Structure 1
Amino acid sequence: MNVSERGARTYEVRTYGCQMNVHDSERLCGLLEEAGYVRAAEGETADVVVFNTCAVRENADNRLYGNLGHLRPVKARNPHMQIAVGGCLAQKDQGEIVRRAPWVDVVFGTHNIGSLPVLLERARVQREAQVEIKESLEVFPSTLPTRRESPYAAWVSISVGCNNTCTFCIVPSLRGKEKDRRPGDVLREIRALVEQGVLEVTLLGQNVNTYGVEFGDRFAFGKLLRACGEIEGLERVRFTSPHPAAFTDDVIAAMAETPNVMPQLHMPLQSGSDRILRAMRRSYRAERFLGIIERVRAAIPDAAISTDIIVGFPGETEEDFQATLDVVRRSRFAQAFTFQYSIRPGTPAAEMDGQVPKEVVQDRYERLVALQEEISWEENRAQVGKVVEVLVAEGEGRKDDATRRLSGRAPDNRLVHFAPGGTAPRPGDVATVKITYAAPHHLVADGPPLGVRRTRAGDAWEARNAAPAGGGRSVMLGMPTVGRPKAPSSPSSSCSAC
């Protein structure tokens, strides 16, 4: 007998896309639980299935409709089941979703996620699909209730929307113009998180370093970083993602001078060719980008810098691609998220001449990946012998022969697998380890930890997992609080790194 048969309706939220979508899904879960729904157990068919969609990833629409098709017979067998579709693809396609999948009950957009419980109830009572898409933000998401998965690391949204007009990106038309939260609201949220045990926050925005544009303070982001440094108990601060055109020296100074701002930067390059950057409508050029990297490294010598790169943008020649390889060699990225360009309907680039043949894009992609793998491995080998503090992540980590390793992130955000030693640290605790081996995408510490610091975050994780089944797997608050499902990780989509 499942939870719904005992009275409370169960739900499942399936998330696709970038960190913004993960952030929104935590709000959706919080809203549903505040409305009386209970998260479905693993393997159980939920009474309400919510798809939080992406319109940026390749074949996003095919993936959605494929998943909706799989649920059609399930819903036919369960007449009380409801299906909702939200997120960027819903904002873009709107009524098209119900036309193609008439068994969907609710379609809602990026600007009105707070309407979901009401729309579900209206669809149930009226027995017809509810499609509600707002063209501007209804309520800032951070004011909505939240279900957080992690007791030790959290997303904190400082802005939503984007004022840029990159020709490959559809995000501004789906998320709207940039809207900034007031600094006091952001800092209150962070302090509340720290009181609950959170050690690390990641400041989140489409372009975090344009934060303050709405209230007329172009130095607001650097000031916010410094203010985070004054919050007692907050050990790690990260942010994603800045835009090179708006990256200023006051932010570099704030990073270098604020001890809890981590020595890590994700700076999207997209292309190393000035001609392609111009076609992408990226308002910086390769030398400016390299100048930022140089100044960051001068101020923070141990900083690990990662990036996003698009290969095969319309009109890209071999000469353009070689310019990208040159910037990659000079930048010495710790990690690069590389994407093969593909047409996104609704973007200016989709209509451009000079679409690059798929086989050429694939060849360039493989050459770029090979170069970056070589650089990443060299940069990681330079870490061997160093002693680092690892914020232990949830999960069992990595199996290596007979050794079950734990995993976590170093201050520079490198992934570290390490042997637990005699007393295994809990997720949220901090282990001091010595790096003994390097691979392109992770580091290994073979010996036992040199020390383990038990933390409030580890206590919170332990308390959460000791809670009764059905209610102890998350933190759910009615005040503006946000988190992430897993320990800190790097960006995985250029959607949030424009």
Structure 2
Amino acid sequence: MTATTTGTEGAPRTYEVRTYGCQMNVHDSERIAGLLESAGYVRAPEGEIADVIVFNTCAVRENADNRLYGNLGHLRPIKMARKGMQIAVGGCLAQKDRSEIIRRAPWVDVVFGTHNIGSLPALLERARVAQEAQVEIKEALETFPSTLPTKRESVYAAWVAISVGCNNTCTFCIVPSLRGKERDRRPGDILSEIRALVAEGVIEVTLLGQNVNTYGVEFGDRQAFSKLLRACGEIEGLERVRFTSPHPAAFTDDVIAAMAETPNVMPSLHMPLQSGSDRILRAMRRSYRAERFLGILERVRAAIPDAAISTDIIVGFPGETEEDFQRTCEVVREARFAHAFTFQYSIRPGTPAAAMENQVPKEVVQDRYDRLIALQEQISWEENKAQVGRTVEVLIAEGEGRKDDRTQRISGRAADYRLVHVAPVDARPGDMVTAEVTYAAPHHLVADKVLAVRRTRAGDAWEARQGTARWREVVNLGMPTIGRPPAPASAPACPSGH
């Protein structure tokens, strides 16, 4: 064992990865963990301070920098008192702020960007030997991240990146400047990775891309994504396929047909709306309009009647009027989303929207946000109530049901991605439970009438990893939960008129 990974008493050095942001960041953190373990580090036991703490940051979430620097400040006295401890900062905020991080937090040892994750172990060693901070930010991707070692949090469900980067120029988004232009993996490489995962016990994969349905643009095949979905349908042992996030402007009928005709592609779709106002969509530089968006949903539901559709919405974009907001409410009523992730617009330095006139006052944004949340809560509740009495097959998960210990239930996701809490049965994470839905809340279902339990290879793999250990909380592989409020106590507050 090298000096890099050996502690003061000869024990392996420990690490912890703290992740902020989107699913792409969660998957990048699995790669960071894989790289560190390949270099000889071991994950720090729960509750212990690690020898190396890595922050994988996000530049999109509100107050992302304040959150990072607050955490770094908390660690400063700990690091000063702990010989050999190292702190590294990577991800989108590192790509954006670069040496600013060292200026504001000079006790940080390593800063690395989104394009050179693979450099982390070497940078940690250089910082240790040189006794000074190492900042390395690459402007272009060095190695496709999926070629790096990966320490996956789940043995039954896995992220699979099919592309990185983004070719769009949305005025509110800084991601293209941090992740670069879209780069696509070859289909054979993707399918090989999925087959290898299935051989290890995985039964569900989620295909990841900044704009997942533009996959193929780099090698000139406009139907590459639908072909990839159909190819996933031919992989024996792969029970569930999901993908996130598509872009409405590039969402084509061949993808809808592939979803409908490929049995293991799940009847769930996350389709970001952002705004229901065509005027605001133009200002956002979103190359579709509300009518096209609703048309996509109509065609999806015609082909897949039980599809559950979710979305993202930004409230209070610069220049948004009450009339624009009401148009968003109208689209939400017509779309009947199963759930929506709603965000209050806030300025992101470096984006075109940050310099726009007519920034909406905070109190107005908050009022609209509250009204839209109340409307969507009511719709989500109504849509979930329609599930009562239906039979669902639930892939049992760990970390999904935060109250499971208290309620003596187990939890997981139905085929349409609804969260379901199931009456206690002898099922492991990775197993499938068929049950009848007996109760509905806005953001979850309860299925107390269990009809069958199917033990799976994935459950066997989970058991093999855990041995006889109790379930432990891991990274939630679901969508972000930012913006989810309590259940509504009354009717929607968003008026039906203008």
1:491 and 1:292, CA in 2 relative to 1: closer, same or farther beyond 3 A?
farther
Aligned ranges for residues 355-370 of structure 1 at < 5 Å? 355-370=359-374
Q: Deviations over 1:295-350 (max 9, x none)?
A: 00000000000000000000000000000000000000000000000001110000
Using structure 2 for the length normalisation, give the TM-score: 0.93
Question: 2: distance between equivalents of 1:317 and 1:105?
Answer: 46
**Among residues 464, 475, 490, which one is paired with 1:485 in the alignment?**
475
Task: Return the alpha-carbon distance in structure 2 between the equivalents of residues 272 and 68 of structure 1.
Answer: 39
2:400·2:412 contact (CA, 8 Å) conserved in 1? no
Q: CA RMSD in A?
A: 1.9
Candidates 416, 434, 445, aligned match of 1:443: 445
> Given the alignment, which residue of 175, 190, 215 partners 1:171?
175
- For 2:194, the equivalent position in structure 1 comes to 190
Given that 1:17 and 1:493 are in contact with CA atoms closer than 8 Å, whether structure 2 keeps it comes out as no
Normalization by structure 1: what TM-score? Answer: 0.93
What does residue 427 of structure 1 align with? 429
Say if 1:335 and 1:4 are closer, same or farther in 2 by CA, change over 3 A.
Answer: farther
Distance 1:156 1:84 in 2: 25
Q: Does structure 2 retain, via aligned residues, the 8 Å contact 1:18–1:493?
A: no
Q: Which amino acid aligns with 1:441?
A: H
Change (3 A) 1:318 1:435: same
Alignment deviations for residues 55-84 of structure 1 (CA, whole Å, 9 cap, x no partner): 000001011111111111001101210110
State the 1:45 CA deviation.
1.1
Whether the aligned pair in 2 keeps the contact of 1:388 and 1:434 (CA below 8 Å) is: yes
Q: What is residue 487 of structure 2 aligned with on the other side?
A: none
Cα deviation code 1:87-111 (max 9, x no counterpart)? 0000000011111111111000000
Task: Find runs of 4+ consecutive structure 1 residues off by over 3 angstroms.
Answer: 2-6, 395-403, 491-494
Report what 2:496 is aligned to. none
Q: Cα deviations across residues 430-449 of structure 1 (Å, max 9, x unaligned)?
A: 000000000000000123x2
Which has the bigger relative contact order, CA under 8 A and spacing at least 6?
1
Secondary structure class of the residue paired with 2:121: helix
Deviations 1:117-174 (A, max 9, x none): 0000000001111000000001100000010111100000000000000000000000
Separation in 2 of the partners of 1:55 and 1:10?
A: 27
Aligned residue number for residue 477 of structure 1: none
Indicate conservation of the 8 Å contact 2:399/2:472, yes or no: no
Does the aligned pair in 2 maintain the 1:398–1:404 contact within 8 Å?
no
- The match for 1:181 is 185
For residues 66-105 of structure 1, what are the structure 2 equivalents within 5 Å?
66-105=70-109
CA distance in 1, matches of 2:161, 2:194: 10
- 1:395 positional shift: 4.2
Summarize the Cα distance change of 1:73–1:412 in structure 2 as closer, same or farther, 3 Å threshold: same
Contact 1:149/1:473 (8 A) holds in 2: no
Instruction: Give how far 1:493 is off.
Output: 7.4
- SS of 1:345's partner is coil
* Distance in 1 between residues matched to 2:47 and 2:22, nearest whole Å: 25
Q: Indicate the residue corresponding to 1:249 in structure 2.
A: 253
Q: Summarize the alignment of residues 104-183 of structure 1 with structure 2, pairs less than 5 Å apart.
A: 104-183=108-187
How far did 1:491 drift?
4.7
Shift of 1:7: 1.9
Number of equivalences: 478
What displacement does 1:233 show? 0.3
Aligned counterparts of 1:277 and 1:203: Cα–Cα separation in 2 = 26
Amino acid at match of 2:452: G
Is the alpha carbon distance of 1:74 and 1:443 closer, same or farther for their aligned partners in structure 2, counting shifts above 3 Å? same
- Report SS of the residue matched to 2:314: strand
Partner of 2:348: 344
1:33 aligns with one of 31, 37, 40: 37
Name the residue aligned to 2:221: 217
Residue 370 of structure 1 deviates from its aligned partner by 0.4
Q: What secondary structure is seen at the aligned counterpart in 2 of 1:231?
A: coil
Deviations 1:269-308 (A, max 9, x none): 0000000000000000000000000000000000000000
Range with bigger deviation, 160-169 or 4-13: 4-13
* Residue 5 of structure 1, CA deviation: 3.8
Q: 1:19 aligns with which of 12, 20, 23?
A: 23
